[in-house]
Structures are given as structure tokens and as C-alpha cells.
């Protein structure tokens, strides 16, 4: 017993002792990037917003469906929406849900809600009534802005929620002030010709345009908020259980914005930077990078409402030139499969950023071959606002793509926890843990779940397994929960997927573990083929040349498509659930 207690005491002491990884990344920082940022520069996101729109009032902030919205116009509309919210009784700290795709309405509602002192609850417009009802009930939202295409879903989800105020809008509503003939025609086509707006009944709803008109006639009261107050309930974890709201403060979000600006300052200029924005702004990655970081640069966002419609995206981009793009692996893959995209002139492209899921080497290599520019991969998660680490954006000095997620951003500590709870050292894998000003307060109304991931010292356990090299660069191995155990050996799905994706006839791939009576689990891959003549034997033979025996897939299943999240992240969990259900039925 004494020996056991001594071992436990030693393990706890080792956990709190600094490992040899601490701070080694600073020596690898690009010139001019500071190790720390001043998180006190702004008190609230509204203060940051007001400064930016005043500085860049004449610049175009957003482009959508061939129309433009300047920073000055955005400021006026956001203030009008904020005044409307205050007028209907939304007090500071109350929650306002936003259920919108990438249109002008999103930034208007976003910054308007924040200026009113509300807490923003971002909602995926593709939610089912069940998913929407859960998020509205859990957050306690009292108001919502909804795209009319999804108003029927809201109608079905409303019972049992606290929603009292609803603003409904259509794609064409804010394309112009005044008569807005183009917007009316667009709305008519979507409703009457394409039948994209199901009939709905929301008796107390108002049109967003009407709400803005009402708000424009009111005086906006100052919503007294501090850096420690909540700015967002950003829901996450829906793929692994009931979605839970990460509590992100103004300080969390602003710290991450300042961290990213300090990191990229050498690459981006004072000229107008145009960023292609296909990822939904309600997603934490696009929210922070496209909506907030480029706000501080006076950037111009090209909004893509439906990134899965690559053909339509290419039509929108016919007369557009962009200097930056944010996307994830599956979206980059889809773009590279488009001949129209491959034929583009990329001479103006400065920065292509990736996050949200691991970027496969095959995709990164294709992108560089087509555009001449590398994909700068980073790593983040909702609970960290989201950016934790990123690769240098100094493209001349950037290392060749090797699957690294880069270096911890300024004012961020990263360590790796062994299974026994002690801290790992250089080159030793462990669960990636993060500490910094961007780390959430916790999960909304879930103290038990918060305690599982956030310790008393402020270290957030991410659930990702990674390793750090001697220069401070981090490489992720895989999700802790996705690990496959074959005859006692750990097999990481991302390694299998990377290898399979190198086959020229493979478009997309996902790897999971399936039960095996002898090995415990065996590797199965789901493949979307470019060439319909591709066979399972060819895939397995390809893997045998790249992988040790126990990692080679035993089963290959071809699919027309793989299940994905709203931003294109492949859902291994859904495939595992299908496999388990199939085996039980058999």
C-alpha cells in the first residue's frame, strides 16, 4: 500500500513538473512574432468591431450573390438590429440564436446581437427539428434570426423552448437598400420556381428588414459588458453525444484574434485582402478567421452560401480574384476535382489555410501543384476559440508539408499527457493539453463534463493524441476515441486514410475499426472512388506497400459518398454505428 501511494504521489508530482517541451517552440517562431500578446487591448468584441468599421467604413466587407456590403453599411445595420433586440426586451447576457448560412444577414445579426450585449448561439441551418430543439432549450435563447428556407424546422422545434422573438429573412432581403428589385426577384425564384422555401407558420415572426427599419428609428443603449462576460455559446460534440455549449467569453475570442493577427502580420499587407469564405461563418473556425480576423484587416469576404455546390461556386468566382482561402481537407479535395478551379490564375493567392480536420498529404501536394502555394495547416477546437497551433505563414521559409499542425500560437502553452497522468517529453506521444487565454470557461450548465476536460490549473484535455519534436512542431496522431486496437497494437485511422488517399483513383476515404474475434478489431476502409474500375484488391495491395501488416485494411467498402458534418468533416462515428447495427442485425 505504501509503495502504491508513493507511486501515485510521484505521478502527480511529475504531472505538475514542467516537461522538456515547455517553450521550446519560441526558437522556431517566424521573425517578428512575439511569444506573448496583450489580451487587454480590447474589452469587448463590440469595441473591436466599432474600431474596425470606423477605420474601414468605405471598404467592401462582404460580397454575396453579386452584391456588396461596405463596412459602413454593416455598422449601420448591425446597430439597427441591436436596437431592435433591445426594443423587444433582450437584456445583456440573454441568448440570441442565429440560424443563417453565409449571407449578409449573418454578420448583421452577429455583430448586432453582440452590440446589444447578448450572447450569440450559432445554429447550423441544416439541423433537424430535434437537434434544433435541443440547442434552443439548452441555451435558453429568447430570440432567433432564421433563414426562411429553414423556418419550417424552427416551427417544429419551438414547443418547449423560450423563444419569444423571431426574425425571418430570405436570401435577397439585404442585397440592396430601398426598392431592392434584384432581391425580390431572387426571393420569388427561390420560393415559387425552385420551391426551396417550405410552407411554415410562425405567427409572431417579423421580417428582418422590418426589424432593421424599426431599430434604425431607435437609440441604441450602451450594453455594459466586460472581457469576462460570455460572447458565445458555441455548441460542439454533437458527433459524439448530445451537443454541449462551450462558453466563450469576449476575452477568449479577442485573444485568439490577436494571436492569429500577430502570427500572420508578416504575410498580409495593408492592402485590401480578399478571402474566399466557403466554410459557414457559424462554424468557429470561419467565425474567428474570416468574420473577425479579416475584420481587423479591413478584408473583403466572398461569401459562399453552399460550398458543396462546386459548380455554382465556380460561377460566383468567374470574375473574382482572392488572396486568401480558408477550407478543410474535403473542400480542398472537391475544388481540386473541378476543372474550372484548376484552370484559374492563382498569381494573387497569398495564403491558403486549413483546419477542422487533418489535411491529407495527397491533397496538400495536389493543391501546391495546381496553385503554386502550400496549404498552411493549423489546429484548433471549439473549446479554444478555436486556434491552438499553426504553421508559419512565411511561405518562403515554410517547411514542406509533413502533416505537422505547426507551433503553439503566442500566449499558449501545450503539453502532452501520458496515460498515467504524467507529462510526456519531446518525441513522446500523449494527449494534447492546452492552456491559454483562448480556452473556454467550460460547458454551459454541465459542470461534470467540464471537470472531465478542464483541470483546476486551467489545462484543457483535447482528446487528441499528438507528439512534439525538438523544434516545437506538433504532429497529431489521431483522436483518442477513434483509435483502432489490432492484436494489442494501436492503429491510428488518419495514418490509414493518408495512405489510401495517395492512390490516384481514390477521391475520399474513412477508416474505422470493426470487431474481430481473433484480433479484437480489424481495419475497414470506406472509399469513394474517382475511377469506378478501382477494386478492393488494388486498394489493399497499395496499402501493403506502405503499411506494416497489422495496419493493412482487411475490408474495403465502396460508397458513392461518405457521411459528413455541415463543414465537410467525415463522420467516422456514423460509419462505426452503421457497422455495429449491421453486425447486430446479422
Give the pLDDT confidence score for residue 12 in this predicted structure: 38
Q: At 541, list the grid cell.
A: 495491395
In whole angstroms, what is the distance from residue 506 CA to residue 539 CA? 9
pLDDT in tens, 505-519: 999 999 999 987 767
**Residue 356 predicted with pLDDT over 90:** no
Are residues 125 and 90 part of one domain? yes
Does 310 share its domain with 438? yes
417, 435, 464 — which closes off a domain? 464
Model pLDDT, residue 173: 96
Distance from C-alpha of 441 to C-alpha of 85, rounded to nearest angstrom: 26
pLDDT tens digits for range 472-505: 999 988 777 787 878 767 677 888 998 999 999 9
pLDDT digits (tens, 9 = 90+) for 189-235: 999 999 999 999 999 999 999 999 999 999 999 999 999 999 999 99
In a domain? residue 473: no
| CATH number of the domain residue 460 falls in | 3.40.50.12780
Indicate the pLDDT class of residue 339, thresholds 50, 70 and 90.
very high
Are residues 452 and 489 located together in one domain of the fold?
Answer: no
Domain boundary among 429, 464, 499: 464
Kindly state whether residue 476 falls inside one of the protein's structural domains. Answer: no
Residues 6+ apart with CB under 8 A from 201: 155
Domain boundary among 433, 464, 495: 464
Contacts of 227 (CB under 8 A, 6+ apart): 39, 40, 42, 43, 44, 249, 250, 251, 254
Q: Is the model's pLDDT at 39 over the cut of 90?
A: yes
In contact, 166 and 144? CB cutoff 8 Å: yes
Q: Which of 50, 437, 37 is nearest to 249 (CA)?
A: 437
For residue 495, give its domain range.
483-585
Mean pLDDT calculated for residue range 5-20: 51
Asked whether the predicted pLDDT for residue 521 surpasses 50, the reply is yes
Same-domain status, 210 and 349: yes
The reply to whether 1 falls in a domain is no
pLDDT at 286 over 60: yes
What residue ranges in 469-586 does DSSP mark as E strands? 474-479, 484-486, 489-491, 506-516, 520-529, 555-558
Residue 5 lies in a domain: no
Provide the H-helix boundaries in 34-70. Answer: 45-55
270 and 321 in one domain?
A: yes
356: in domain = yes
Q: How does residue 584 score in pLDDT terms, banded at 50, 70 and 90? A: confident
If asked whether residues 189 and 299 sit together in one domain, one would say yes
The C-alpha atoms of residue 73 and residue 52 are separated, in whole angstroms, by 13
Query: CA 508, CA 527: separation in Å to the nearest integer?
Result: 6
Same domain, 418 and 519: no
Question: Is residue 368 predicted with pLDDT exceeding 70?
Answer: yes
Do 537 and 392 sit in the same domain of this protein?
no
Q: Within a 13 Å sphere around the CA of 214, how many CA atoms are in the beta-carbon half?
A: 15
- Whether 272 and 62 have beta carbons less than 8 Å apart is answered as no
User: Number of folded domains in the chain?
Assistant: 2
Rounded to whole angstroms, the Cα distance separating 434 from 415 reads 7
Query: Does residue 429 share a domain with residue 380?
Result: yes
Whether 181 and 141 share a structural domain: yes
Closest by CA to 540, choosing from 586, 583, 506, 575, is 506
CATH code (residue 573):
3.30.300.30
- State yes or no: pLDDT of 72 exceeds 90: yes
pLDDT digits (tens, 9 = 90+) for 545-561: 888 888 899 999 999 99
Three cell numbers, residue 531: 475511377
C-alpha cell at 404: 505537422
Q: Is the residue at 142 inside a domain?
A: yes
Residue 13 located in a structural domain: no
- 335-365 burial, b if ≥16 CB within 10 A, otherwise e? bbeeeebeebebeebbbbbbbbbbbbbbbbe
Q: Where are the beta strands (DSSP E) in 170-221?
A: 206-207
β partners of residue 570: 564
Do 459 and 511 lie in one domain? The reply is: no
Q: Where are the beta strands (DSSP E) in 304-440?
A: 324-327, 351-354, 375-380, 387-390, 404-408, 413-417, 430-435
Please state the rounded mean pLDDT for residues 133-157.
Answer: 97
Q: Are residues 205 and 177 in the same domain?
A: yes
Check whether 395 has a pLDDT greater than 60.
no
15 assigned to some structural domain? no
Amino acid at each position: 500500500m505504501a509503495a502504491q501511494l508513493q507511486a501515485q504521489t510521484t505521478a502527480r508530482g511529475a504531472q505538475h513538473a514542467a516537461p522538456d517541451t515547455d517553450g521550446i517552440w519560441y526558437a522556431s517562431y517566424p521573425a517578428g512574432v512575439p511569444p506573448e500578446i496583450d489580451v487587454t487591448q480590447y474589452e469587448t468584441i463590440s469595441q473591436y468591431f466599432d474600431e474596425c468599421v470606423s477605420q474601414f467604413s468605405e471598404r467592401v466587407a462582404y460580397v454575396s450573390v453579386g452584391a456588396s456590403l461596405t463596412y459602413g453599411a454593416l455598422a449601420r445595420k448591425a446597430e439597427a438590429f441591436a436596437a431592435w433586440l433591445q426594443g423587444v426586451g433582450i437584456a445583456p447576457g440573454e441568448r440570441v440564436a442565429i440560424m443563417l448560412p453565409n449571407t449578409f444577414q449573418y454578420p448583421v445579426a452577429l455583430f448586432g446581437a453582440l452590440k446589444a450585449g447578448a450572447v450569440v448561439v450559432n445554429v447550423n441551418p441544416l439541423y433537424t427539428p430535434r437537434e434544433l430543439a435541443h440547442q434552443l432549450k439548452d441555451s435558453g435563447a429568447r430570440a432567433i434570426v432564421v433563414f426562411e428556407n429553414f423556418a419550417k424546422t424552427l416551427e417544429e422545434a419551438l414547443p418547449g423552448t423560450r423563444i419569444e422573438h423571431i426574425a425571418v429573412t430570405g436570401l435577397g432581403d439585404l442585397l440592396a437598400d430601398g426598392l431592392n428589385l434584384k432581391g425580390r426577384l431572387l426571393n420569388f425564384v427561390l420560393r415559387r420556381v425552385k420551391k426551396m422555401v417550405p410552407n411554415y407558420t410562425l405567427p409572431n415572426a417579423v421580417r428582418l428588414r422590418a426589424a432593421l427599419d424599426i431599430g434604425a428609428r431607435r437609440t441604441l443603449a450602451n450594453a455594459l459588458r466586460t472581457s469576462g462576460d460570455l460572447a458565445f455559446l458555441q455548441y460542439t460534440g454533437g458527433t459524439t453525444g448530445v451537443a454541449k455549449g462551450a462558453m466563450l467569453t469576449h476575452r477568449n475570442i479577442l485573444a485568439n484574434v490577436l494571436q492569429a493577427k500577430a502570427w500572420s502580420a508578416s504575410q498580409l499587407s495593408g492592402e485590401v485582402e480578399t478571402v474566399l469564405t466557403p466554410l459557414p461563418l457559424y462554424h468557429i473556425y470561419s467565425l474567428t478567421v474570416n468574420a473577425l480576423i479579416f475584420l481587423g484587416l479591413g478584408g473583403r469576404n466572398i461569401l459562399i452560401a453552399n460550398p458543396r455546390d462546386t459548380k455554382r461556386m465556380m460561377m460566383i468566382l468567374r470574375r473574382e480574384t482572392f488572396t486568401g482561402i480558408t477550407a478543410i481537407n474535403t473542400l480542398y479535395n472537391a475544388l481540386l476535382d473541378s476543372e474550372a478551379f484548376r484552370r484559374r490564375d492563382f498569381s494573387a493567392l497569398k495564403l491558403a489555410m486549413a483546419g477542422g480536420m487533418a489535411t491529407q498529404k495527397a491533397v496538400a501536394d495536389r493543391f501546391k501543384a495546381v496553385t503554386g502555394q502550400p496549404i498552411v495547416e493549423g489546429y484548433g477546437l471549439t473549446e479554444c476559440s478555436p486556434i491552438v497551433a499553426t504553421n508559419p505563414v512565411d511561405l518562403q521559409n515554410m517547411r514542406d508539408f509533413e502533416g505537422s499542425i505547426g507551433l503553439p500560437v503566442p500566449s499558449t502553452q501545450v503539453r502532452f499527457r501520458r496515460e498515467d497522468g504524467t507529462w510526456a517529453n519531446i518525441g513522446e506521444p500523449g494527449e494534447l493539453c492546452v492552456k491559454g487565454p483562448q480556452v473556454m470557461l467550460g460547458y454551459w450548465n454541465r459542470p461534470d463534463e467540464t471537470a472531465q476536460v478542464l483541470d483546476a490549473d486551467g489545462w484543457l484535455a483535447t482528446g487528441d493524441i499528438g507528439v512534439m519534436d525538438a523544434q516545437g512542431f506538433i504532429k497529431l496522431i489521431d483522436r483518442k476515441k477513434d483509435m483502432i486496437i489490432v492484436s494489442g497494437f494501436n492503429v491510428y485511422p488518419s495514418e490509414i486514410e493518408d495512405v489510401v488517399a495517395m492512390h490516384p483513383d481514390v477521391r475520399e476515404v474513412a477508416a474505422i475499426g470493426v470487431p474481430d474475434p481473433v484480433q479484437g478489431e480489424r481495419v475497414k476502409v470506406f472509399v469513394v472512388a474517382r475511377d469506378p474500375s478501382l477494386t478492393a484488391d488494388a486498394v489493399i495491395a497499395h496499402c501493403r506497400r506502405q503499411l506494416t501488416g497489422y495496419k493493412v485494411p482487411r475490408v474495403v467498402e465502396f460508397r458513392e459518398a461518405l457521411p459528413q458534418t455541415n463543414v465537410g468533416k467525415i463522420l467516422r462515428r456514423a460509419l462505426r454505428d452503421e457497422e455495429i447495427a449491421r453486425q447486430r442485425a446479422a
